[in-house]
Structure 1
Amino acid sequence: MQVLVLNSGSSSLKFQLFSMPNETILCSGLIERIGLDNGNFKFKTANDTIELATPIPNHKVGLELLAKQLLDGDTGIIKSADDIGVVGHRVVHGGKYFSDTTEITPEVKEKIKALSSLAPLHNPANLEGIEVAEAIFSNAKQVAVFDTAFHQSIPEKAYRYAIPREFSEKHSIRIYGFHGTSHKYVSEKAIAYLDKPKSKIITIHLGNGCSMTAIKDGKSIDHSLGFSPVNGLIMGTRCGDIDQSIIFYLAQKYDYSLQEINNLLQKKSGMLGLTGFSDLRDIQAEAANGNRDCQLALEMNTYRIKKYIGSYTAVLNGLDAIVFTAGIGENSSIIREMACEDLDFIGIDLDKEANNKREDGIRTISTRNSKVEVLVIPTNEELEIAKQSVSLFKD
């Protein structure tokens, strides 16, 4: 069975085509800088690597570009859209409706749409990907794998907010957690690598969206994102933790509408609001050239990560390893170094030489004397989504 996996982020779309169940990758790629003038399309097979720089105004245009390439007579990978049996979709917010992988129906799409107000940068893009895939791969089974599922193990003392009970019980206002597919995948890899099923691990997913999870014995017990994927760490365009009184202050003092405030905190804040850039590569380059706003943004970003490392070490009552993953976590040695500075009191001792090396696969970037392993583990949400999608249709 050929399984196409679509992983739509807020400004990117990763994809892989697998032959299952042997997990062979037939092609993979990335559509990034969606919504910007300098969009980029990368497509890789065993024989070819294609890269195209072109404006990609939205996810629909990106998916149409992917479909065209998959079916290309010379460099494509399939002869017909019917070659693909299953399309697995990452969907960010499942709310109270979805705790498991689910075959997509009109009713499922309506619920995903209804949850868009809780994940406005993601669920609309996820839904758009589903609808475009339904049109192009009309005979394939469409499957949703929800970011929130892995965090169902978070205990009530951690997922409840200190608001009247009726809001939790009647309106399902609670911490849901996100990036669950990634946190699940890399934590399982870390546990196998350490050969330690009984373990205390902090996974740090850093991309345009960022989150951290405290994982005890393979289960999520706390997480930095909450009811929606906007709080916690400083992200590409999202503010992360903020005093909620600021919302009322902007509304009452300066007559901002709720929509304007939501747009401000979701799409105009974070690293973009601090620097004018949302892409960390641009920010790091500017910081190296002496841009003080960019230097400060990097300091603020990594300071927030350190606060969560300290908090989750306390929650776990100890720490065996921290794991950096996702686009920034895997590729930014600067972020990793700054995030691990001055954490020797909990046993973290970074090997700067190892940290600066670029290598494939799982790698340790802490010294031999470090009491806590510092790992870089490439996430593979797409493989995890493919496996879960296929599992729905096993006899």
Structure 2
Amino acid sequence: MQHILTLNSGSSSIKFALFEEDAVLVETVHGQIEGLGRNAPHLEAKLRGAPLADERLDAASAADHEAALGVVLEVLQRAVGRTEVDAVGHRVVHGGLAFTRPIVVNDDVLNDLQKLIPLAPLHQPHNLSGVRAAHRAFPGAMQVACFDTAFHRSHPWVNDTYALPREFYDQGVRRYGFHGLSYEYVVSRLKEIAPLDEKGRVVVMHLGNGASMCAIRDGQSIGSSMGFTALDGLPMGTRCGQLDPGVVLYLLEEKRMTAEAVTDLLYNHSGLKGLSGLSQDMRELEAAGTPEARQAIDYFVDRIRRELGAMAAILSGIDAVVFCGGIGEYAWRIRERVCQGFEWLGIALDESRNRASHSLISSDQSRVRVRVVNTDEEMMIARHAARLLKQS
């Protein structure tokens, strides 16, 4: 039996899952540590769906990713005893032009991924910190990088480029798209539960603290709301989404902001948090009821609806819509508001199904199937790592 550990390393968190593979992949442990480098980091973990840990950690035990991996090891030993890890699969946000499929990480690969940090400054450094820490913690394990951009490399040229001089496209300035591991998993689920949809024209909405939409035909990405970086498209928890580039020029030239200050503004203080002046958490915004919170939600919904119309144009019609991600899977009011008024496109929700978050939430009369799929990036990473283990 082989054991595969998956890691999703963020700026202040690390999500982990342990999988066993005999005939099939089975997740045994799932957890996360939040608040890395802060005073009271928090560990939560489950063993086969049952609570395993829910506790505050001292700051030193989760000061950085390497320290946090020590905690992960303790959790795994508590859950399944001393287990040899055969492979560690990592979510890496940006693969650039060179990395279009999962790959075994060596020093050369790590150096190449380091060069992509300017394209994903909020995520890439922490993804790579997790790779380095895992290499030290599991020196005998295969390290596998799985890229959020890889799924979108099937874009046609018109959905992949910007109207800049051609040399910039050749140098890599193009629409990469993100959340590819989530979209890839959703496509795999559709293949199991709705094969006709998987072969058709589908718009998938990954709505969470990071949010994007993808136009998929016959299982292939042909358009994404995100572009060169993970800033583009929909407004997110703390990221601005679509923005006139002239605003950036104005901030630099007229407001005399530094590039670092603009980066911090657009990545960390915009989106739902910036609009509401309150929070990036949709649950808090819905409960708050302040005018600013309502306006933040209004803007979020409006941008999704605009993008849904654009995706319908890219696909020349829609056969199915899929909601996933934390907001997409649990915020029924957002799903309801997004779909309202799209009867002309063939979308009609069933109110009771939607409020109960059923897997199929469209009405029986709806020409477009509307689904809720619980996405599982960890499972997708584990599948890729298992495949590369078999090939080694």
Q: Which TM-score bucket, shorter chain as reference? A: over 0.9
Match of 2:144 in 1: 143
Match of 2:273 in 1: 272
Q: CA deviation at 1:386?
A: 0.9
Trace 1:1-395 onto structure 2 (pairs within 5 A): 1-9=2-10, 12-21=13-22, 22-32=24-34, 40-46=42-48, 48-53=51-56, 59-71=65-77, 75-80=78-83, 83-169=84-170, 171-196=171-196, 197-275=198-276, 276-286=278-288, 290-358=289-357, 363-395=359-391
Structure 1 range deviating more: 317-326 or 35-44: 35-44
* Aligned residues of 2:339 and 2:347 also touching (Cα < 8 A): yes
Q: CA deviation at 1:31?
A: 3.2
Q: CA deviation at 1:332?
A: 1.4
Does the residue aligned with 2:297 lie in a helix, a strand or coil? helix
Q: CA deviation at 1:121?
A: 1.1
* Aligned residues of 2:182 and 2:206 also touching (Cα < 8 A): yes
* Aligned residues of 2:235 and 2:272 also touching (Cα < 8 A): yes
Does the residue aligned with 1:205 lie in a helix, a strand or coil? strand
1:122-161 CA distances to partner (integer Å, 9 max, x unpaired)? 1111011111111211211111011111111101111011
Does the residue aligned with 1:142 lie in a helix, a strand or coil? strand
Q: CA deviation at 1:230?
A: 0.7
For residues 321 and 60 of structure 1, what CA distance do their matches in structure 2 show?
Answer: 42
Q: CA deviation at 1:96?
A: 1.3
Residue type at the aligned position of 1:283 = L
Q: CA deviation at 1:194?
A: 2.4
For residues 319 and 187 of structure 1, what CA distance do their matches in structure 2 show?
Answer: 15
1:254-311 CA distances to partner (integer Å, 9 max, x unpaired)? 110111111111111111111231222222221xxx2111111111101111111111
Give unpaired runs (5+ residues) of structure 1.
Answer: none
* Aligned residues of 1:185 and 1:380 also touching (Cα < 8 A): yes
Residue type at the aligned position of 1:124 = P
TM-score by length of 2: 0.92
For residues 133 and 172 of structure 2, what CA distance do their matches in structure 1 show?
Answer: 30
* Aligned residues of 2:357 and 2:372 also touching (Cα < 8 A): no
Q: CA deviation at 1:357?
A: 1.4
Q: CA deviation at 1:184?
A: 1.2
For residues 99 and 326 of structure 2, what CA distance do their matches in structure 1 show?
Answer: 27
Residues 212, 106 of structure 1: CA spacing in aligned structure 2 closer, same or farther, 3 A cutoff? same
Structure 1 range deviating more: 4-13 or 318-327: 4-13
Residue type at the aligned position of 1:176 = Y
Does the residue aligned with 1:76 lie in a helix, a strand or coil? helix
Instruction: Count residues with an aligned counterpart.
Output: 383
Structure 1 range deviating more: 186-195 or 17-26: 186-195
For residues 60 and 344 of structure 1, what CA distance do their matches in structure 2 show?
Answer: 51
1:65-121 CA distances to partner (integer Å, 9 max, x unpaired)? 3223223xxx332315xx111000010001112111111111111122211111111
Give unpaired runs (5+ residues) of structure 2.
Answer: none
Residue type at the aligned position of 1:183 = Y
Q: CA deviation at 1:192?
A: 3.5
Residue type at the aligned position of 2:384 = Q
Residues 338, 14 of structure 1: CA spacing in aligned structure 2 closer, same or farther, 3 A cutoff? farther
Residue type at the aligned position of 1:23 = L
For residues 119 and 80 of structure 2, what CA distance do their matches in structure 1 show?
Answer: 36
For residues 35 and 298 of structure 1, what CA distance do their matches in structure 2 show?
Answer: 31
1:5-45 CA distances to partner (integer Å, 9 max, x unpaired)? 11234564332111125111111123346677775422111
For residues 239 and 88 of structure 2, what CA distance do their matches in structure 1 show?
Answer: 29
* Aligned residues of 1:299 and 1:338 also touching (Cα < 8 A): no
For residues 333 and 52 of structure 1, what CA distance do their matches in structure 2 show?
Answer: 30
Q: CA deviation at 1:195?
A: 2.6
For residues 296 and 120 of structure 1, what CA distance do their matches in structure 2 show?
Answer: 28
Does the residue aligned with 2:79 lie in a helix, a strand or coil? coil
* Aligned residues of 1:191 and 1:199 also touching (Cα < 8 A): no
* Aligned residues of 1:3 and 1:17 also touching (Cα < 8 A): yes
For residues 327 and 63 of structure 1, what CA distance do their matches in structure 2 show?
Answer: 25
Q: CA deviation at 1:64?
A: 3.6
Residue type at the aligned position of 1:187 = V
Residues 297, 64 of structure 1: CA spacing in aligned structure 2 closer, same or farther, 3 A cutoff? farther
